Structure formats: structure tokens, C-alpha cells
């Protein structure tokens, strides 16, 4: 029997279509991207996170000469927030990525599989969906209203 899974997403042609808080998150993610430590890949990713108390925190990718020891921008931010604000719900996450020398052709950069798994952990933990936006430096933006839209057939704590 064939079954389908449906996911939905929103597409913004450019950042002028964003509301004020979304624009702020986009700017904060771009600043974080500039500070990424990515000398090996020269692929810079920044991420900003809005908490329920209105505070915004950010992270970026942190690479290492022993390549697997590095960490993506999303998990750098998530784990720091999890460690320091364990009771704060995450409302929105904005990711901006692309090569150091980006061109107008670079598409929006979605989170990698390992980051999706970490993201869903926090969404499950807080029992409230997270809005996630991903973009390139070329101003195109994709939004999902839940991490579940990025990770069908999710493995999470409910199976344990
Ligand atoms: N990277 C991220 O920071 N987030 C992602 O979701 C995809 C990949 C980083 C990891 C590595 O430092 C560089 O981008 C190239 O893969």
C-alpha cells in the first residue's frame, strides 16, 4: 500500500516580505555568519534563535583541524541555549549559510540531517513547534512551521 507524507513550507522571494522580528533574526544570523570559524570549508553558517522571553541568541559553525570535531551553527547555538536556558522555549530559528565568496546563485541552505535530529529533540522537549527559516545571502528565504516538516519519520523520545 502506497502512502504519502505531506510537508508544507513558505517561500519568501526576498527579506522585504518578512515582518520586523523576522528581519531582526535575519540580520542577527548574518552577523553570526560573519564570525563563523570555518577555515577548512570556507562555508560560513550563522544562526539566530528567538526565545519566549524575547531574547535573541546566535551561533555559527566552529570547525576543527580534526574535521569531525567541528560543529554546525545550529547545534552550536542550540546546545549553548540548552545549557544556559533549559526552561526557555525556542520560538524561532533563522539560518543563513553560504560559501565565504558567495554568489547570487547560492540557494537557501537547509540544516543538515544531524542538526535536524537535534532540532527535533528540542521541539519535542518543549512540546511546542518551532518556526525555522533558512536562507542564503541572496535574500531568498524558506520557512517551515515545525521541524517535523524537515524530518518525516522522525525518531524522537516518544519511541523510547
Ligand atoms: N554547516 C552548518 O553549520 N550547518 C548546516 O546545517 C550545514 C553545514 C557547516 C558545517 C561545516 O563547518 C560547513 O558548514 C561545511 O559543511
Q: What is the pLDDT of residue 104?
A: 77
Q: What is the pLDDT of residue 102?
A: 79
CATH number corresponding to 19-152: 3.40.140.10
Q: How far is the CA of 146 from the centre of ligand 1 (A)?
A: 21
Question: Can 10 be counted among the known catalytic residues?
Answer: no
Every domain of the chain and the residues it spans: 19-152
For the chain, 160 residues long, give each residue's pLDDT as a single digit of tens.
Answer: 999 999 999 999 999 999 999 999 999 999 999 999 999 999 999 999 999 999 999 999 999 999 999 999 999 999 999 999 999 999 999 999 999 997 778 899 999 999 999 999 999 999 999 999 999 888 999 999 999 999 999 998 889 9
Half-sphere exposure for 94 (CA within 13 Å, toward CB): 26
**Ligand 1, atom 7, residue with closest C-alpha:** 112
Q: What is the pLDDT of residue 26?
A: 98
Q: What is the pLDDT of residue 24?
A: 98
57-64 contacts at long range (C-beta below 8 A, 24 or more positions apart) = 57/81, 58/28, 58/29, 58/31, 58/32, 59/32, 60/32, 60/33, 60/35, 60/36, 61/36, 61/37, 62/36, 62/37, 63/37, 63/38, 63/39
Q: Are 27 and 139 a contacting pair, CB within 8 Å?
A: no
**Angle of helix 73-84 versus helix 113-126 axis, rounded to 10:** 30
Q: What is the pLDDT of residue 137?
A: 87
Q: Which of 22, 34, 55, 74 is catalytic?
A: 74
The model's pTM is 0.96
Amino acid at each position: 500500500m502506497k502512502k504519502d507524507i505531506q510537508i508544507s513550507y513558505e517561500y519568501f522571494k526576498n527579506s522585504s516580505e518578512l515582518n520586523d522580528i523576522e528581519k531582526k533574526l535575519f540580520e542577527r544570523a548574518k552577523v553570526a555568519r560573519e564570525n563563523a570559524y570555518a577555515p577548512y570549508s570556507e562555508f560560513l553558517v550563522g544562526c539566530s534563535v528567538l526565545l519566549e522571553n524575547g531574547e535573541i541568541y546566535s551561533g555559527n559553525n566552529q570547525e576543527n583541524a580534526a574535521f569531525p570535531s567541528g560543529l554546525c551553527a545550529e547545534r552550536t547555538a542550540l546546545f549553548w541555549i540548552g545549557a544556559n536556558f533549559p526552561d526557555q522555549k525556542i520560538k524561532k530559528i533563522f539560518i543563513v549559510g553560504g560559501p565565504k565568496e558567495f554568489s547570487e546563485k547560492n540557494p537557501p541552505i537547509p540544516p543538515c540531517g544531524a542538526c535536524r535530529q537535534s532540532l527535533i529533540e528540542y521541539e519535542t522537549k518543549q512540546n511546542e513547534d518551532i518556526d525555522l527559516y533558512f536562507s542564503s545571502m541572496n535574500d531568498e528565504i524558506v520557512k517551515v512551521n515545525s521541524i517535523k516538516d524537515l524530518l518525516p519519520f522522525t525518531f524522537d523520545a516518544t519511541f523510547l
